[in-house]
């Protein structure tokens, strides 16, 4: 029995990703007729139509949908395996990475990270995108290279995680706020209106539960989807923002921060990635850079 042509896996991955013979041909730098022949060969080898016409478009068959993620992972694993394991030349490295993190991370650690990257590997580019949920699908499908956040059960056992730093929630108000001049107690903390940064899956240290146990309740005047927006509103009003301390250090400049008057638990911010990139020298270098700037900032606080 003849061995299968493993090059077909890469072709199949591109076809399933593009959903178009013409776009797949352009991506692989083939003629449309050559791409059509490759699709015909895949159909013959796999015993399935894979992509079928629906109007002017091609849609995947049930089997194609079922295998799409597995094919993507096989191709990415192969690409990682075939990269050189040693001899990384940082000065000549040309590569782009995508980092997903909650707002505040780039503002706090970004300048140091970019400075180190430009010094060691000036050809590397970094794309930072906001983290609006705890879904780590982007790590699995390869659209995200690295992510920061609190490790949750939803990330799945196949995602690697390494601790970056410990953090805690603090209260933040404008410099002229009455709480900036007084000792903060549970009572006066709950007395003022609050702005919270909230998104699906985000834990806020059980603050409201702890206040309720003390017979108190704070009034949430407004909720927003990020720490930057919460701090902006607190900076221009008498609202109290409650945010992670270290994560938002770069956003809290010029404001008054205080320890919460209730015993919330600290938490750990971790760096997350998919294990297929464990052995990738460039990815490993970027992980080291991120850990380095986080540790450096920690040591200066």
* Predicted local distance difference test score (pLDDT) of residue 300: 45
- Residue 280 pLDDT more than 50? yes
Q: Identify whether 1 is part of a domain.
A: no
Q: Rounded to a whole number, what is the largest CA-CA distance in the chain?
A: 82
- Residue 234 pLDDT more than 80? yes
Mean pLDDT throughout 116-126? 96
Same domain, 235 and 289: no
Same domain, 70 and 120: no
- Can you say whether the dihedral through the CA atoms of 196, 197, 200, 201 is positive or negative? negative
* Predicted local distance difference test score (pLDDT) of residue 202: 60
Indicate the burial class of 161 (C-beta count within 10 angstroms; 0-12, 13-18, 19 or more). Answer: middle
- Strand arrangement of the beta sheet that strand 124-130 belongs to: 124-130, 95-101, 146-149, 267-273, 160-167
Out of 61, 82, 103, a domain closes at: 82
Query: Which of 300, 177, 188, 297 is CA-nearest to residue 248?
Result: 297
Cα separation, 170 vs 9, in Å, equals 51
**Residues 130-189 pLDDT 10s:** 887 777 778 888 889 999 988 765 555 678 889 999 999 999 999 999 999 989 999 999
* Predicted local distance difference test score (pLDDT) of residue 87: 67
Mean pLDDT throughout 75-99? 79
- Residue 93 pLDDT more than 70? yes
Q: Identify whether 2 is part of a domain.
A: no
In the chain, the number of structural domains is 3
DSSP string, 142-204: TS-SEEEE---GGG-TTSEEEEEEEE-EEEEE-TTSGGGTS---HHHHHHSEEEEE--TT---
Same domain, 173 and 161: no
**Residues 180-219 pLDDT 10s:** 998 999 999 999 999 998 766 566 668 899 999 999 999 9
Out of 16, 47, 82, a domain closes at: 82
* Predicted local distance difference test score (pLDDT) of residue 301: 47
Same domain, 163 and 278: yes
List the domain range (segments joined by +) for residue 253: 169-265
* Predicted local distance difference test score (pLDDT) of residue 6: 79
Same domain, 161 and 173: no
Same domain, 116 and 137: yes
3 — pLDDT class (breaks 50, 70, 90): low
Radius of gyration of the CA atoms of the chain, in A: 25
What is the H or E stretch that residue 128 is in?
Answer: strand 124-130
Same domain, 159 and 290: yes
Cα separation, 143 vs 33, in Å, equals 29
**Residues 281-292 pLDDT 10s:** 999 999 999 999
Cross-strand pairs, 241: 172, 195
Q: For the domain that residue 60 is a member of, what is the CATH number?
A: 1.10.10.10
Query: Taking all residues of the chain, what is their mean pLDDT, rounded to a whole number?
Result: 87
* Predicted local distance difference test score (pLDDT) of residue 270: 92
Contact 83, 53 (CB under 8 A): no
**Residues 10-26 pLDDT 10s:** 899 888 888 888 888 88
Structure-token match 């995602």, residue found: 159
* Predicted local distance difference test score (pLDDT) of residue 299: 45
* Predicted local distance difference test score (pLDDT) of residue 130: 86
Between residues 142 and 258, the one the model is more confident about: 258
Mean pLDDT throughout 25-36? 88
- Residue 255 pLDDT more than 90? yes
Out of 59, 82, 105, a domain closes at: 82
Rounding to the nearest 10 degrees, give the CA dihedral for residues 30, 33, 35, 37: -140
């Amino acid at each position: 029995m003849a061995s299968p042509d493993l090059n077909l896996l890469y072709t199949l991955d591109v076809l399933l990703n593009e959903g178009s013979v013409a776009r797949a041909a352009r991506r692989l730098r083939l003629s449309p007729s050559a791409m059509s022949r490759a699709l015909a060969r895949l159909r013959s080898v796999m015993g399935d139509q894979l992509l079928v016409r629906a109007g002017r478009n091609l849609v995947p068959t049930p089997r194609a949908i079922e295998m799409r993620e597995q094919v993507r992972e096989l191709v990415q694993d192969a690409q990682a395996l075939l990269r050189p394991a040693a001899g990384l030349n940082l000065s000549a490295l040309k590569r782009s990475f995508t980092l997903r993190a909650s707002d505040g991370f780039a503002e706090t650690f970004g300048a140091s990270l970019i400075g180190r990257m430009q010094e060691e590997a000036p050809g590397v580019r970094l794309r930072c995108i906001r983290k609006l949920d705890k879904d780590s699908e982007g790590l699995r499908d390869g659209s995200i290279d690295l992510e920061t956040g609190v490790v949750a059960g939803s990330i799945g056992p196949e995602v690697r995680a390494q601790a970056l730093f410990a953090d805690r929630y603090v209260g933040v108000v404008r410099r002229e706020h009455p709480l900036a001049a007084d000792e903060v107690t549970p009572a006066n903390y709950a007395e003022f209106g609050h702005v919270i940064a909230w998104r699906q899956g985000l834990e806020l240290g059980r603050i409201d539960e702890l206040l309720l146990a003390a017979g108190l309740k704070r009034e949430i005047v407004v909720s927003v989807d990020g720490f930057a927006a919460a701090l902006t509103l607190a900076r221009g009003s008498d609202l109290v923002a409650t945010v992670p301390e270290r994560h938002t250090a770069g956003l809290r400049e010029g404001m008054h921060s205080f320890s919460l008057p209730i015993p919330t638990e600290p938490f750990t911010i971790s760096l997350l990635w998919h294990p297929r990139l464990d052995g990738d020298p460039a990815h490993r270098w970027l992980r080291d850079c991120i850990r380095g700037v986080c540790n450096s900032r920690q040591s200066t606080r």
